């Protein structure tokens, strides 16, 4: 119970209040004293008769004008109001103490960090935001508000760090704590003058936890520091362009342009002008090509396997010494550009078939990375899904949907022929359909593939029984979309209705 005691400003009055509580063996949990003559007491609940006697005894104290029961002490009410205000904010907010540890956080912050209360409260800010030195900032003589761009779980945020000052008894402003607020933004809308926190320089946008993903990123970070041509191979939708950008951002060329040239279905004359530029003429203005515009930076040749034989010859000449001629011009131009290429085709097979120049292939394939398809790293599906759901919630201005139990396994069992791009599109379509804030398996429309479940190294963890169950669950999950009843599915698989019903119940298929 909380009591509000109105009283005069008399020496010893508070002591008399405490003596009454002590005589009645009532524990005092908290006390606040207001300057206008109000004393607030926080005590355990007591029986009604004892409460009535206590109130009468307090009123008999000399100087007490009234006493009443209230719901919250002022500090409690202020704390609860602050908490309620924080929870209304869609942006993650953290309150830090002077040791740089989290004292308070709102639901958005817990959701972002994927943490429960006991894991996040007390955590060091330097662990949560390793690229910003909070200890150094807090030790400044006059800490002031700062703004940084950070990347958390693959998403760009503007991080605002705001000091909280309070006035002491001598009217001096004293630093009491700090508040961190994160605002999700698109990379395209980041202020150009904003200081970017030094970190992975692009690789923090790549999300995954599988051993194949980690090996790829570790190798890419090493290659990013080199100037030699880099060939990135992988199926469509695996994220080759994002990997190329990350390599550029980590290199010494990061402050210079990163320009993309799409080699798919470009006429030779247009492609040559796009790459090398053209000289001014009677009916045209001169134009710098992508190589010249990217001087000092990187040119990314998207799907280089689609390049025509004519352009392959032009590119080979450039790769030899970095010189080229603009279309319609005689003198040569020399630039310093790193070339990164991507392809979903097997260039060595194209060389064998006579569709790609062998000498150019060896010029481009000095360093090479192969991005594994999503079906070979199923443990990356869930973190990618979490990333996309966070992005969609910001784009659509709605609460991030929760994942129904079993959805991560359901997604991981699909083969994803379109890889990460397909996963993103499927989830976006699903998010636009849900109504109750929970994403279920029924919301996800997956087109059937000839091979709906793949036996990869990761899917073969555990005993034979575990492996067979995962494989069986994948088959049933995919077939159930086309045969959404136990009888139809039993007929399709030539087994009894009872057997199928038991299997669907065991794997929680067809239930919300």
Q: What is the CATH number of the domain that holds 95?
A: 3.30.450.20
Query: Do the domain assignments include residue 512?
Result: no
Residue 198 lies in a domain: no
Reference 374, options 459, 441, 436; nearest CA is 459
**Do 309 and 365 fall within a single domain?**
yes
At 279, is the pLDDT very low, low, confident or very high (cuts 50, 70, 90)? confident
Q: Report the chain's terminal Cα–Cα distance, integer Å.
A: 44
Q: Residue 451: pLDDT band by 50, 70, 90 thresholds?
A: very low
Q: What percent of the chain has pLDDT over 70?
A: 91
Extended strands (E) in 319-376: 323-324, 333-334, 338-343, 367-370
More confident residue, 192 or 125: 125
Please indicate, yes or no, whether residues 231 and 361 belong to a single structural domain of this protein: yes
Q: How far apart are CA 390 and CA 399, in angstroms?
A: 9
432 shares a domain with 486:
no
pLDDT in tens, 343-369: 999 999 999 999 999 999 999 999 999
328 and 365, same domain (yes or no)? yes
User: Mean pLDDT over residues 474-478, rounded?
Assistant: 73
For residue 225, pLDDT beyond 70: yes
211 and 250 inside one domain: yes
pLDDT digits (tens, 9 = 90+) for 421-434: 999 999 999 988 88
Structure tokens at 179: 């508040």
Nearest of 342, 338, 416, 335 to residue 381 by alpha carbon: 416
Does the pLDDT value for residue 316 go beyond 90? yes
Q: How confident is the model at residue 18 (pLDDT cuts 50, 70, 90)?
A: very high
Considering the domain architecture, whether residues 366 and 379 belong to the same structural domain is answered as no
Q: What is the pLDDT of residue 419?
A: 93
**How many angstroms separate the CA atoms of 406 and 267, rounded?**
49
Report the chain's mean pLDDT, rounded to a whole number.
84
Sign of CA dihedral 18, 22, 25, 30: positive
Tally the domains of the chain: 5
Q: Which domain holds residue 175?
A: 89-184
- Are 319 and 350 contained in the same domain? yes
Residue 197 lies in a domain: no
Q: What pTM was computed for the model?
A: 0.65
Confidence check: pLDDT of 452 > 50: no
* Domain of residue 494, CATH code: 1.10.10.60
Evaluate if residue 246 carries a pLDDT over 50.
yes
């Amino acid at each position: 119970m909380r009591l509000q005691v109105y009283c005069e400003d008399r020496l010893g009055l508070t002591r008399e209040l405490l003596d009454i509580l002590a005589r009645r063996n009532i524990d005092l949990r908290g006390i606040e004293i207001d300057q206008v003559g109000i004393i607030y007491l926080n005590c355990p609940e007591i029986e009604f008769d004892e409460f009535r006697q206590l109130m009468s005894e307090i009123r008999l104290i000399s100087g007490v004008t009234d006493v009443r029961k209230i719901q919250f002490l002022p500090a409690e009410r202020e704390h609860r109001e602050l908490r309620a205000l924080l929870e209304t904010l869609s942006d993650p907010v953290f309150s830090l103490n002077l040791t740089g540890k989290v004292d308070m956080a709102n639901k958005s912050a817990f959701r972002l960090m994927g943490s429960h209360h006991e894991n996040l409260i007390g955590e060091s800010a330097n662990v949560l935001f390793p690229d910003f030195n909070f200890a150094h900032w807090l030790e400044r003589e006059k800490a002031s508000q700062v703004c940084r761009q950070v990347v958390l779980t693959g998403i760009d945020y503007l991080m605002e760090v705001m000091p909280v000052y309070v006035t002491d008894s001598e009217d001096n402003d004293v630093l009491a704590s700090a508040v961190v607020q994160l605002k999700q933004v698109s990379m395209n809308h980041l202020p150009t003058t904003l200081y970017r926190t030094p970190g992975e320089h692009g690789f923090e946008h790549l999300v995954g936890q599988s051993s194949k993903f980690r090996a790829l990123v570790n190798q890419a970070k090493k290659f990013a520091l080199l100037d030699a041509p880099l060939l990135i191979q992988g199926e469509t939708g695996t994220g080759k362009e994002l990997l190329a950008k990350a390599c550029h951002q980590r290199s010494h060329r990061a402050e210079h342009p990163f320009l993309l040239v799409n080699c798919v279905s470009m006429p030779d004359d247009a492609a040559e002008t796009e790459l090398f530029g053209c000289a001014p003429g009677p009916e045209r203005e001169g134009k710098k090509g992508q190589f010249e515009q990217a001087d000092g930076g990187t040119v990314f040749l998207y799907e280089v396997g689609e390049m025509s034989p004519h352009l392959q010859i032009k590119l080979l000449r450039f790769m030899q010494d970095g010189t080229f001629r603009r279309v319609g011009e005689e003198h040569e131009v020399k630039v310093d550009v790193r070339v990164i290429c991507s392809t979903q085709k097997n260039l060595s097979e194209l060389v064998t078939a006579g569709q790609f120049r062998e000498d150019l292939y060896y010029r481009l394939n000095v360093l090479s990375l192969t991005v594994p398809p999503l079906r070979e790293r199923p443990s990356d599906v869930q973190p990618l899904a979490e990333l996309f759901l966070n992005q969609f919630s910001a784009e659509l201005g709605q609460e991030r949907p929760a994942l129904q139990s079993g959805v991560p396994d359901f997604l991981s069992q699909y083969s994803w022929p379109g890889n990460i791009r397909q996963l993103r599109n499927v989830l976006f379509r699903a998010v636009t359909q849900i109504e109750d804030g929970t994403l279920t398996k029924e919301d996800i429309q997956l087109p059937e593939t000839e091979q709906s479940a793949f036996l990869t190294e990761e899917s073969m963890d555990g005993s034979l029984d575990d492996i067979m169950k995962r494989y069986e669950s994948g088959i049933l999950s995919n077939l159930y979309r086309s045969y959404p009843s136990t009888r139809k599915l039993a007929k399709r698989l030539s087994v009894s209705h009872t057997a199928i019903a038991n299997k669907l119940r065991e794997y929680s298929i067809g239930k919300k």
